[in-house]
């Protein structure tokens, strides 16, 4: 389940409602505080919303409501009957022991407030969630712009890019400075060590990365450096062979053209 939760305290409350009749139950909704809890959910994933109490509440009727004042699910504590809303019927699971609600296959249109509400002697909101549904991040792209190496070090300039975010940096003396940029809910981080350069793109529900292996990069560069003189030597040899071939051809052709003149003498 790809979800991230943040707790936002709003106000202190502690309710003990005593019975004034033989058929009413004592209602305990929250222990210590009421809260709005921010939850981030990846598109298509499920999210579980809990009552968030140290002691389970006692009530006549419990409802999980959305911000459209629709009862997603209603639970009657006497009959133990669970009644889901028609539009949520195939997308919700309700736990009649913990009173938690699980929403499945979350879409961006499901973003909003979700409240657990009890009714009895007093109507009370037990907990409120602010749910935000978002896409997984796109994969970042790490590119090497230039590089070089010596016997004891490897250097290079590179760019880390994703979702309109970009970081330019350089690798030298087997290290680079860690850099981070953010845009709304997306974060791009570039870091490296002696083994690799890492470009990480994340949001509250997912992360992806791209990396370049330093040893492989430096070995490739060293191999390229060694290849240059070899290629140059081969090119010189080929050029000499071509020149020699042209010279011999011209000389041979000149000798053949003189034969008729010799015979005429």
Domain final position from 101, 134, 167: 134
Output 196-201 pairs: Cβ under 8 A, ≥24 positions apart. 197/142, 197/158, 197/171, 198/142, 199/140, 199/141, 199/142, 199/160, 199/161, 199/162, 199/167, 200/140, 201/137, 201/138, 201/139, 201/140, 201/162, 201/163, 201/165
Residue 17 belongs to a domain with what CATH number? 2.60.40.10
pLDDT of residue 245: 80
Tens of pLDDT, residue by residue over 167-215, are: 999 888 777 889 999 998 999 999 988 788 999 999 999 999 999 988 7
Q: Are residues 128 and 148 in the same domain?
A: no
Q: Are residues 186 and 91 in the same domain?
A: no
Query: Domain total for the chain?
Result: 2
Q: Are residues 14 and 105 in the same domain?
A: yes
Q: Are 64 and 72 in contact (CB under 8 A)?
A: yes
Tens of pLDDT, residue by residue over 88-102, are: 888 999 999 889 999
Q: Are residues 208 and 159 in the same domain?
A: yes
Q: Are residues 16 and 130 in the same domain?
A: yes
Tokens of 244: 């020699």
pLDDT of residue 99: 92
Domain final position from 69, 104, 134: 134
What's the mean pLDDT when you consider all of the chain?
79
Tens of pLDDT, residue by residue over 10-67, are: 433 333 332 333 333 333 454 444 568 999 999 999 999 998 776 755 789 999 999 9
Q: Are residues 95 and 192 in the same domain?
A: no
Q: Are residues 112 and 148 in the same domain?
A: no
Q: Are residues 89 and 152 in the same domain?
A: no
Q: Are residues 22 and 118 in the same domain?
A: yes
Tens of pLDDT, residue by residue over 217-234, are: 666 554 444 444 555 677
DSSP state of 110: G
Residue 134's pLDDT band, with cuts at 50, 70 and 90, is very high
Structural domain of 108: 3-134
Q: Are residues 102 and 150 in the same domain?
A: no
pLDDT of residue 201: 98
Domain final position from 134, 162, 181: 134
Which strands make up the sheet holding 82-84, listed edge to edge? 3-14, 31-42, 124-134, 112-119, 61-66, 71-76, 82-84
Enumerate residues 6+ apart whose C-beta is below 8 A from 145.
156, 157, 158, 159
Q: What number is the average pLDDT over the span 237-244?
A: 83
């Amino acid at each position: 389940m790809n979800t991230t939760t943040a707790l936002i305290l709003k106000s202190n409350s502690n309710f003990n409602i005593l019975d004034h009749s033989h058929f009413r139950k004592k209602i305990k909704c929250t222990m210590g505080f009421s809260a709005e809890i921010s939850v981030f959910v990846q598109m298509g994933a499920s999210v579980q919303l809990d009552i968030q109490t140290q002691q389970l509440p006692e009530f006549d009727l419990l409802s999980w409501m959305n911000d459209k004042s629709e009862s997603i699910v209603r639970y009657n504590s006497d009959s133990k009957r669970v009644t889901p809303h028609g539009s949520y019927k195939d997308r919700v699971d309700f736990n009649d022991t913990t009173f938690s609600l699980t929403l499945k296959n979350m879409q961006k249109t499901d973003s909003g407030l979700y409240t657990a509400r009890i009714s009895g002697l007093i109507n009370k909101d037990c907990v409120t969630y602010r749910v935000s549904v978002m896409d997984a991040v796109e994969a970042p792209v790490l590119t090497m712009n230039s590089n070089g190496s010596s016997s004891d070090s490897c250097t290079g300039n590179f760019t880390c890019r994703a979702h309109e975010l970009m970081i330019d940096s350089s690798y030298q003396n087997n290290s680079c400075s860690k850099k981070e940029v953010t845009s709304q809910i997306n974060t791009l981080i570039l870091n490296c060590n002696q083994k690799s350069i890492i470009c990480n793109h994340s949001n509250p529900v997912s992360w992806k990365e791209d990396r370049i292996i330093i040893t492989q990069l430096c070995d490739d560069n060293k191999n390229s450096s060694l290849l240059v003189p070899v290629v140059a030597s081969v090119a010189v040899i080929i050029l000499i062979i071509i020149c020699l071939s042209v010279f011999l051809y011209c000389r041979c052709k000149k000798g053949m053209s003189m034969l008729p003149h010799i015979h005429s003498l």
